[in-house]
């Protein structure tokens, strides 16, 4: 049993991006501990499959088809979950999209699309659920950022800035909410096996390069979810993983200019491999 299940005996969680990848892995792990889980995703068909798996594992799945960038729809869903579950213990602001392109080549419409999903959805989730957590004097918010907020590789401006914003939101809330007995964790993983680029708009080369990093990682979503849930139970603010990501975190602070050059070198190598790949 996870420590989070002991800390929050009512076992009520709300997860965005719950139909696949890390969100689904969170839901399945919590299901084994008997949690009631609000599972929200834009893909209704995949959400239904994921919810069935959660229920098979022993959890209670409450399904919500949700476009997290639509704040009015999000508020309706949040209110519905709170009414049915009677409160909330864990909030996973997990939904996100990965994409890239040259800064001035990536359209303004695409920037706005990415900000809505990766950044504003985190704001919405926190905004709608924090008041209830304050009344309860308990709760834990887990915001999925990315090691991209550390690396800030070229041609990933939109993604990098939205994930850096998630780090800033998490750090701000950590200070604001500690006196209300509400925990905050900011998740910053490197690439792992997920479908983060399924909705990418930046073109085939971006998808190829990203897929190379995903395949090279060797990390499965379930392993990432287990480490995150374990470390969140220890009340860690920065959940940076794996070890290579933590190394990045330190190097950026110790030798920032050198670090920027190394990131550029690795990026160019990855792009060359992607170009050669058929």
Handedness of CA 164, 244, 223, 42 (dihedral sign): positive
Pick the most confident of 147-151, 227-231, 239-243: 227-231
**Residue 195's pLDDT is what?**
59
Q: Which helix (H) or strand (E) holds 78?
A: helix 71-85
CA angle 157, 123, 69 (to 5 degrees): 70
Model confidence at 236: pLDDT above 60: yes
Domain locations in the chain? 3-276
State the pairing for strand pair 182-189/238-241.
Answer: parallel
Q: Kindly report the backbone phi and psi dihedral angles of residue 160, in degrees, each rounded to the nearest multiple of 5, phi listed first.
A: -60, -45
Q: Sorting pLDDT into bands at 50, 70 and 90, what band is 269? A: confident
Tell me which residue of 143, 158, 160, 67 sits closest to 112, measured CA to CA: 158
State the pairing for strand pair 238-241/90-93.
Answer: unpaired
pLDDT digits (tens, 9 = 90+) for 38-74: 999 999 999 999 999 999 999 999 999 999 999 999 9
Specify whether the backbone of 34 is left (phi greater than 0), alpha (psi in -120 to 50) or beta.
left
CATH of domain 3-276: 3.40.50.720
Tell me which residue of 190, 242, 178, 229 sits closest to 26, measured CA to CA: 229
CB contact set of 1 (below 8 Å; sequence gap of 6+): 33
The percent of residues in the chain predicted with pLDDT above 90, rounded, is: 79
Please name the residue that has the structure tokens 């704040």: 71
């Amino acid at each position: 049993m996870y420590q989070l299940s002991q800390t929050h005996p009512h076992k009520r969680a709300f997860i965005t991006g719950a139909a696949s990848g890390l969100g689904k892995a969170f839901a399945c792990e919590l299901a084994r501990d008997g949690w009631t889980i609000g599972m929200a995703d834009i893909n209704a068909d995949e959400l239904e499959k994921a919810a069935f798996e959660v229920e098979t594992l022993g959890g209670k799945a409450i399904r919500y088809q949700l476009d997290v960038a639509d704040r009015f729809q999000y508020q309706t869903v949040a209110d519905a979950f709170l009414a049915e579950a009677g409160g909330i213990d864990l909030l996973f602001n997990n939904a996100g999209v990965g994409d890239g392109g040259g800064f001035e080549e990536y359209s303004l419409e695409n920037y706005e699309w990415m900000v809505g999903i990766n950044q504003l959805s985190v704001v919405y989730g926190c905004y709608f659920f924090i008041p209830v957590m304050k009344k309860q004097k308990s709760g834990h918010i887990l915001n999925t950022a990315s090691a991209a907020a550390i690396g800030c590789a070229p041609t990933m401006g939109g993604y990098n800035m939205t994930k850096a914003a998630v780090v800033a939101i998490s750090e701000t809330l950590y200070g604001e909410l500690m006196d209300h007995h509400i925990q905050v964790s900011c998740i910053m993983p490197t690439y792992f096996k997920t479908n983060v680029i399924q909705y990418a708009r930046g073109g085939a080369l971006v998808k190829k390069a990203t897929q190379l990093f995903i395949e090279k990682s060797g990390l499965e979503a379930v392993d990432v979810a287990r480490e995150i849930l374990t470390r969140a139970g220890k009340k860690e603010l920065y959940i940076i993983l794996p070890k290579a990501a933590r190394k990045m975190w330190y190097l950026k602070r110790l030798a920032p200019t050198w670090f920027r050059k190394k990131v550029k070198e690795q990026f160019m190598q990855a792009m060359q491999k992607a170009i050669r790949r058929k």
